Amino acid sequence: MKHYIFIIFYIFLNLIIYAFQGSFWVYLFCFLMFSGVVIWGSFDITLRYFVNTVTQKRTKIKEVALTFDDGPTEFTPKFLDLLKENNIKATFFCIGQQIEKYPETFRRMIEEGHSIGNHTYSHSDNTGFLSISKMIEEIEKGDQTISEFGNVTTHLYRPPFGVTNPNIAKAINNTKKNSIGWNVRSFDTVTTDEKKILRRVTKGLKKGSIILLHDTSEKTYNVLVELLLFLEREKYSTFTVDSLIKLKK
């Protein structure tokens, strides 16, 4: 599964080279196609191109995982209130620097039984371009913040922006993390229309889906209100991501 796209493209490109007997433009075209696939592989986590990432649960029952990235923030307490009212446990992938800003909210997530994952210390915009050692530092500093403020450890790691590449793959192995992706993306950070976000999530929902949301805005809170009603109506239960992984020793 992991490299199937690479293999298909490799065969496809060789066929083109064979068919056109190797003019310069054919080679250039092939090079650009190949680069395109590698870049696509870096950004689309569901392809699992570089890192063996968990993107869903294999299950026969109607259950999904709610995951929230980039918190804790000033909005997180509202999310926690809503989840508590509905007796739902979610998975929060926290940024170290945000934990330092909102330590009490972070502790509340843990006290209320939610799963915690590492989302790096600083969520650097350059995440895709960091060296292996810098990447390891980002993950380890995130771990330190989680244990210092929450007195817990986590084996879960979610790559910022869903970006994976060979350096990030090595850092994930080195820090013994399980890479956690998603197969339902809400685009709640870029879309302004709440109805559109909700529709995108509910349309793509399947048994075992892992849903990516962000506890960073009022807008996503409003979407979550509607989403929980939808899940109840459609008789979906929820699971937390830590229930999926075998611990790495």
Distances in Å between the alpha carbon of 55 and those of 77, 96, 179? 27, 23, 9
97 vs 174, which CB is nearer to Zn ion? 97
214 catalytic residue (yes or no):
yes
Contact in structure between 63 and 88 (CB atoms under 8 Å): no
**Minimum CB separation from Zn ion for residue 216, in Å?**
9
Size of the site for Zn ion (CB under 5 A): 3
Residues 96-135 that bind Zn ion (CB under 5 A): none
Residues 143-182 that bind Zn ion (CB under 5 A): 160
Rule CB under 5 A: say whether 138 interacts with Zn ion.
no
**Minimum CB separation from Zn ion for residue 72, in Å?**
13
Figure out which of the listed residues 56, 57, 69, 201 binds Zn ion, where binding follows CB under 5 A. 69
69 catalytic residue (yes or no):
yes
**Omega before 103 within 30 of 0, i.e. cis:** no
Figure out which of the listed residues 53, 70, 98, 108 binds Zn ion, where binding follows CB under 5 A. 70
Q: 193: Cβ–Cβ under 8 A, 6 or more apart, which residues?
A: none
Residue 247: burial class (beta carbons within 10 Å; 0-12, 13-18, 19+): exposed
Q: Round to whole Å and give the CA distance between 154 and 32.
A: 39
Contacting positions for Zn ion (CB under 5 A): 69-70, 160
* Catalytic residue ranges: 69, 214
